[in-house]
């Protein structure tokens, strides 16, 4: 499986989800779908192979507005995969305002193209705006225009009406490859094992292991995962096959087993069961790293069973339970699923030893929120029986959106505004609850799972930004809200302001030439605010003229620094910000104030 950049992967996931989930139900003509805006600008260029210089045909070029790309990430980050949503109403939300409804609108504004036999591409009819351009081809590393290194931010292009920008070209490096063999407990090859290659990456401001590629072993136990950027990786293998034919027969018939079931635990190279024990595999650009062989760990499997009760203490009829690994550094956690019977009983077979959280959720009735349960347990090879998992109502958060206006009129139709409640801690569902605002400015989000959350407005009207979030008169704009099951918060005030704080400037070198390909980071001088998803930390890439700007941050004192090598999201890491502080410029900006601050780097 070739590597995909986060934006490309999200776009692909969104397209697949829309196709699968809406294809059978979508009317022949959907008048709510928004076509791409028309324009007069043109972007063109060439794509070549980095190692040979020859033109590459059928390279996929994806062009998106920077704000659109950010919106896509916010929509899907922390959410379940769309396929876990039960129906079209869940996907689209009221008035098309659900996660996939918004995704469909955003996807309508994306532009794509393919290179021809000479490696040339051209995208016409672009409206004025700022765009990010990505080139991808199987077997090669995805490249964002202006990117100095793989997996680093690129350079956005500011495009004016009628402008033609030529030679927006790419040199695609061949991807690295990791190969090896997966063996069973007797050192015999094992087929049809899923092999996952992962790397540490910042996700929602926290460093976690995320998938970078996957494959499956053949009849010789061999696997080959290609298209990887250079870097450090961790390789894991999972076999869902039962160890013996009799085990498969017993499970299929529901017969009682007479002896302990054995199976393969998820195993990391070189043959361990936790990421902390795993060995790193380092690959250089275009390198094929072989010999990453290891044996799966044969362990005693357990059965987890019990009963799910609804909020009235009666057995829940129907639905599913999810048993997810409780490992904080894993973004993609292994999970097992069990079906809830009509009597509320569930059974999950073949559970390897480990720490887990058992999640259950009821289906939400129309106009009501779902109910949830999260039950922590440790599985050590023995069956876990007679669990009683009691659902509790999700929280209900409601209130009003108001406008602190000084230079413009509040929007006539606030119903286009979307509120978001992103979860800080990963959950298998309900990670980013959303709600549309009504015409009267009021909103309600029902069935919010317990946990720490922020309240955000990811798509404020043009010229507006979030000023404050008040809960019972207490300002919680920049501190997590600890949501509890069954809680009702009914007096939430979300205030938007048109007094935008703005910091703008130009990045130049010692010869006063514009510099791009760098990342400019703005962060508060108060270290207490250095945390994931903080509004006082922003990062942008200067455009092709070296210009950069920040808007919508809270008024206050900030550091401003330019760096040439930073991981996406690393700017939320307090230890990284600490290294930037000594050489950073300092700016103070007030509400509604614009501050000019240029930066200079030596290169």
Please state the three-class secondary structure of 151-178 as a single string. CCCCCCEEECCCCEECCCCEEECECEEE
Q: What is the spatial distance between Cα 49 and Cα 115, in angstroms, rounded to a whole number?
A: 13
Distance of CA 129 to the CA centre of its chain: 25
Q: From residue 165, how far is each of 83, 360, 541, 602 by CA, in Å?
A: 39, 53, 19, 28
Segments making up each domain of the chain, as ranges: 6-172, 176-299, 302-387, 395-497, 502-600
Q: From residue 212, how far is each of 10, 175, 197, 282 by CA, in Å?
A: 13, 12, 6, 13
Q: What is the mean pLDDT of residues 357-370?
A: 73
Residues 6+ apart with CB under 8 A from 562: 507, 515, 518, 519, 520, 521, 599, 601
Output the average pLDDT for the chain. 82
pLDDT interval class at 1 (50, 70, 90): very low
Which of 138, 201, 199 is CA-nearest to residue 172? 138
Same fold for the domain at 176-299 and the one at 302-387?
yes
Q: What is the mean pLDDT of residues 463-470?
A: 92
Q: What is the spatial distance between Cα 479 and Cα 534, in angstroms, rounded to a whole number?
A: 9
pLDDT at 254 over 90: no
Residue burial 438-448, b: 16+ Cβ < 10 Å; e: rest: eeebebebbbb
- Edge-to-edge strands of the sheet including 474-475? 442-448, 395-404, 488-497, 465-471, 474-475
Name the CATH code of domain 502-600 (choices 1.10.150.240, 2.60.290.11, 3.40.50.720, 2.60.40.1120): 2.60.40.1120
Name the CATH code of domain 395-497 (choices 2.60.40.10, 3.10.20.90, 3.30.1360.170, 3.40.50.720): 2.60.40.10
202's tokens: 């910042």
434 neighbors 418 (Cβ within 8 angstroms):
yes
pLDDT score at 209: 86
108's tokens: 């309508």
Q: What is the mean pLDDT of residues 560-571?
A: 91
pLDDT interval class at 95 (50, 70, 90): very low
pLDDT > 90 fraction of the chain, expressed in percent and rounded: 52
Which of 62, 57, 11, 67 is CA-nearest to residue 549? 67
Q: From residue 191, how far is each of 116, 198, 223, 234, 244 by CA, in Å?
A: 39, 21, 9, 20, 14
Q: What is the spatial distance between Cα 438 and Cα 443, in angstroms, rounded to a whole number?
A: 6
Residues 6+ apart with CB under 8 A from 348: 303, 304, 305, 321, 323, 336, 337, 338
Residues 6+ apart with CB under 8 A from 579: none
168 neighbors 29 (Cβ within 8 angstroms):
no
72 neighbors 12 (Cβ within 8 angstroms):
no
Angle (CA) 36-42-48 rounded to 5° is 110
52's tokens: 């040979």
235's tokens: 């390789």
For 269-328, the pLDDT digits (tens) are 999 988 889 999 999 999 999 999 999 999 999 999 999 999 889 999 888 899 988 766
pLDDT score at 203: 77
For 116-171, the pLDDT digits (tens) are 999 999 999 999 888 999 999 999 999 999 888 888 888 889 999 999 999 999 99
60's tokens: 């996929």
pLDDT at 20 over 70: no
Please give the CATH topology (third level) of the domain spanning 6-172: Immunoglobulin-like (2.60.40)
Architecture of the domain made up of 176-299: Sandwich (2.60)
83's tokens: 């396929």
Residue 385, H or E segment: strand 384-390
Q: What is the mean pLDDT of residues 344-355?
A: 91
Q: What is the spatial distance between Cα 92 and Cα 26, in angstroms, rounded to a whole number?
A: 11
pTM of the model: 0.76
371 neighbors 362 (Cβ within 8 angstroms):
yes
Please give the CATH topology (third level) of the domain spanning 302-387: Immunoglobulin-like (2.60.40)
pLDDT score at 555: 93
The SS3 assignment for 529 reads helix
Which of 461, 462, 465, 453 is CA-nearest to residue 420? 453
147 neighbors 171 (Cβ within 8 angstroms):
no
Q: What is the spatial distance between Cα 258 and Cα 354, in angstroms, rounded to a whole number?
A: 23
How much of the chain is in helix, strand and coil states, percent to nearest 5?
A: 15, 45, 45
């Amino acid at each position: 499986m070739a590597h995909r950049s986060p934006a490309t992967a999200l776009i692909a996931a969104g397209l697949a989800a829309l196709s699968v989930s809406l294809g059978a139900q979508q009317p022949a003509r959907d008048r709510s779908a928004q076509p791409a805006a028309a324009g007069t600008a043109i972007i063109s260029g060439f794509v070549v192979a980095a190692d040979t210089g020859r033109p590459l045909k059928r390279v996929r070029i994806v062009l998106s507005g920077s704000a659109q790309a950010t919106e896509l990430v916010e929509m899907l980050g922390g959410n379940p995969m769309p396929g876990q949503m039960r129906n079209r109403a869940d996907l689209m939300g009221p008035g098309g305002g659900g996660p996939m409804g918004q995704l469909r609108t955003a996807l309508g504004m994306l532009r794509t193209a393919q290179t021809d036999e000479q490696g040339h591409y051209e995208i016409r009819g672009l409206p004025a705006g700022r765009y990010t351009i990505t080139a991808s081809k199987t077997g090669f590393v995805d490249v964002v225009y202006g990117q100095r290194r793989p997996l680093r931010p690129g350079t956005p292009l500011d495009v004016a009406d009628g402008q033609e920008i030529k030679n927006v070209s790419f040199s695609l490096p061949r991807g690295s490859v990791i190969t090896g063999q997966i063996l069973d407990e007797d050192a015999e090859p094992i087929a049809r094992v899923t092999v996952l290659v992962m790397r540490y990456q910042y996700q929602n401001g926290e460093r976690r292991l995320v998938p970078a590629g996957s494959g499956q072993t053949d009849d010789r136990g061999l696997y080959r995962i290609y298209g990887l950027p250079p870097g450090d990786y961790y390789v894991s293998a999972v076999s869902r096959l039962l160890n013996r034919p009799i085990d498969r027969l017993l499970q299929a018939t529901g017969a009682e087993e007479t002896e302990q079931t054995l199976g393969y635990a998820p195993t990391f190279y070189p043959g361990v069961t936790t990421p902390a024990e795993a060995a790193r595999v380092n690959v250089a650009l275009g390198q094929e790293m072989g010999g990453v062989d290891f044996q799966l760990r044969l362990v005693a499997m357990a059965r987890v069973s019990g009963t799910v009760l609804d909020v009235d203490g009666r057995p829940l009829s129907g639905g599913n339970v999810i048993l997810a690994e409780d490992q904080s550094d894993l973004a993609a956690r292994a999970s097992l699923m069990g079906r809830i019977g009509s009597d509320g009983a569930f059974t999950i077979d073949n559970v390897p030893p480990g720490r887990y959280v058992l999640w259950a959720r009821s289906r939400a009735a129309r106009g009501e929120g779902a109910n949830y349960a999260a039950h922590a347990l440790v599985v050590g090879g023995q069956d876990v029986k007679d669990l009683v998992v009691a659902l509790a109502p999700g929280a209900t958060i409601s209130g009003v959106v108001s406008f602190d206006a000084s230079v413009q009129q509040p929007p006539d139709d606030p119903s286009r505004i979307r509120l978001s409640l992103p979860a800080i801690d990963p959950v298998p569902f309900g990670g980013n609850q959303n709600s549309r605002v009504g015409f009267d400015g009021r909103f309600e989000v029902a069935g919010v799972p317990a946990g720490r959350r922020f309240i955000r407005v990811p798509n404020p009207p043009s010229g507006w930004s979030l000023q404050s979030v008040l809960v019972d008169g207490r300002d919680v704009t920049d501190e997590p809200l600890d949501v509890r099951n069954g809680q009702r918060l009914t007096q939430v005030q979300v205030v938007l302001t048109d007094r935008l704080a703005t910091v703008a400037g130009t990045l130049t070198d010692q010869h006063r030439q514009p510099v791009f390909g760098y990342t400019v980071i703005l962060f508060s001088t108060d270290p207490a605010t250095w945390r994931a998803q903080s509004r006082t930390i922003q990062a942008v890439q200067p455009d092709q003229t070296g210009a950069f700007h920040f808007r919508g941050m809270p008024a206050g004192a900030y550091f401003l620094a330019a760096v040439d090598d930073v991981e996406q999201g690393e700017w939320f890491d307090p230890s990284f910000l600490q290294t930037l502080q000594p050489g950073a410029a300092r700016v103070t900006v007030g509400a509604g104030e614009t501050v000019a601050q240029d930066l200079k780097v030596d290169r």
